[in-house]
């Protein structure tokens, strides 16, 4: 059984399904899994599960999405021998015929066609589940006890020896031979990370101030007008605005800039004096 099918099988078992994997039809067609779930003493669900997992390609390789999907469904779900094998196995396990649902677990889809693909499968009665969601759930449930299954053991090693190492995890996104996340996806990753409450709490500590300053300097927020607007209208409360202003004006470099600016303006316009000049004079005197 392939690694992706092992992961799906483990996920189905964790979610209460009894699974029969790698069934063969009368014409030797492979059926990934028959999954049966009970709720108490009553039958809850019967699934015919197919797994289509790709990294760089997709089950949809042409512009004709509907044609590709119809062909895939006919081959994987509607084939006469496949249907007969599923029904026969259900009778063997349940003692009678039972209705079942077709479930496709899929990974890679062209992003621009994803909604169209999912909708078309659903329209034809096939439940779509994303392998990425299943993989994430499986990894999150893996603990530190030893797993005999080689696929689960590999996921455990990745989780606790690679992903749990901050420097190693960061290096995965450097693009040195890995190129896991391109720029657009990297931006989405950072945005998702920064939206998490745990991340926000960790950024409150003094240990991250240096990195935050560096990020601010290299971002669009470093533009003076934009920075001032954000600080005043989005960061500071009404009570803290005055404290911020007084603290800013006490900085020696700011005071020097203000004195120079005021002197230059007074030299050019000795007669007229606006309100801001009066405030600055009072502060600097």
Q: Model-level pTM?
A: 0.71
Residue 101 three-state SS: strand
pLDDT at 244: 82
Per-residue model confidence as pLDDT tens for the chain (285 residues): 789 999 999 999 999 999 998 888 877 788 999 999 998 888 889 999 999 888 766 666 667 788 888 988 999 999 999 999 999 999 998 888 899 999 999 987 777 788 888 889 999 999 999 999 999 999 999 999 999 999 999 999 999 998 888 888 777 776 555 566 666 777 777 778 778 787 777 777 777 778 777 877 778 877 888 888 888 888 888 888 878 877 877 777 777 777 777 676 555 555 455 555 555 555 555
Q: Any idea where the domains of the chain sit in the sequence?
A: 3-153, 242-284
Which one, of 177, 65, 188, lies nearest residue 121 by Cα? 65
pLDDT at 285: 55
pLDDT at 271: 45
pLDDT at 267: 54
Q: What are phi and psi of 224, to 5 degrees?
A: -50, -50
Query: CATH number of the domain at 3-153, please?
Result: 3.40.1350.10
CB 70 within 8 A of CB 87: no
Q: Which residue pairs, CB below 8 angstroms and at least 24 apart, start in 149-153?
A: 149/6, 149/10, 151/3, 151/6, 151/7, 151/10, 152/6, 152/10
d(CA 33, CA 8): 9
pLDDT at 82: 92
Non-local CB neighbours of 13 within 8 Å, separated by 6+ positions: 19
Cα dihedral 152, 153, 156, 161 in deg (nearest 10): -150
């Amino acid at each position: 059984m392939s690694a992706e099918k092992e992961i799906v099988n483990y996920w189905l078992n964790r979610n209460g399904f009894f699974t029969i994997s790698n069934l063969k039809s009368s014409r030797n067609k492979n059926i990934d899994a028959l999954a049966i779930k009970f709720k108490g003493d009553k039958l809850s669900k019967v699934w015919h599960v197919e797994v289509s997992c790709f990294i760089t390609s997709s089950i949809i390789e042409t512009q004709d999405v509907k044609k590709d999907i119809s062909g895939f469904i006919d081959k994987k779900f509607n084939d006469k021998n496949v249907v007969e094998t599923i029904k026969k196995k259900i009778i063997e396990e349940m003692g009678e015929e039972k209705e079942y649902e077709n479930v496709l677990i899929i990974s890679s889809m062209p992003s621009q066609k994803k909604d169209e693909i999912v909708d078309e499968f659903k329209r034809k009665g096939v439940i779509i589940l994303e392998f990425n969601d299943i993989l994430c759930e499986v990894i999150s449930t893996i603990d530190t006890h030893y797993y005999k299954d080689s696929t689960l053991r590999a996921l455990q090693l990745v989780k606790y020896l690679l992903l749990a190492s901050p420097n190693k995890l960061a290096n995965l996104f450097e693009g040195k031979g890995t190129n896991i996340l391109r720029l657009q996806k990297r931006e989405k990753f950072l945005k998702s990370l920064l939206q998490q409450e745990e991340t926000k709490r960790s950024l409150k500590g003094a240990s991250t101030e240096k990195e935050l300053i560096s990020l601010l300097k290299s971002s669009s927020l470093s533009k003076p007008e934009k920075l001032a607007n954000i600080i005043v209208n989005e960061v500071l409360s009404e009570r803290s605005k005055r404290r911020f202003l007084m603290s800013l004006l006490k900085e020696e470099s700011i005071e020097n800039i203000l004195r120079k600016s005021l002197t230059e303006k007074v030299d050019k316009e000795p007669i007229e004096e606006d309100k801001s000049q009066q405030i600055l004079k009072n502060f600097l005197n």
